[in-house]
């Protein structure tokens, strides 16, 4: 894997970013906004599942749990 997808925080476009370019402050190819590279896990809930998981084009590692 030499690249991964990053969702633009401004327009929501999925941008393919080369791993070798992570530290060069990549920008969205659609709107030019700075892309935020996640460097740690994020917590999501049911309402974010489609947006954060199903709509993501790349591979995702999920850790699922239930409070019950």
Determine if 17 is a binding residue for Zn ion (CB under 5 A).
no
**Min dist. Cβ of residue 68 to Zn ion (A):** 38
State the Cα–Cα distance between residues 68 and 56, nearest whole angstrom. Answer: 28
Cα–Cα dist 67/14, whole Å: 32
Among 16, 21, 30, 50, the residue binding Zn ion under the rule CB under 5 A is: 30
34 binds Zn ion (CB under 5 A): no
Q: Interface with Zn ion includes 6 (CB under 5 A)?
A: no
Whether residue 37 contacts residue 17, with contact meaning beta carbons closer than 8 Å, is answered with yes
Residue 57 binds Zn ion (CB under 5 A): no
* Tokens, residue 23: 């530290």
């Amino acid at each position: 894997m030499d690249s991964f997808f990053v969702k633009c925080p401004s327009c929501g476009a999925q941008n393919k970013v080369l791993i070798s370019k992570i530290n060069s402050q990549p920008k969205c190819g659609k709107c030019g906004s700075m892309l935020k590279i996640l460097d740690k896990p994020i917590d999501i809930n049911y309402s974010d599942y489609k947006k954060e998981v199903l709509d993501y084009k790349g591979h995702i590692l999920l850790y699922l749990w239930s409070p019950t």
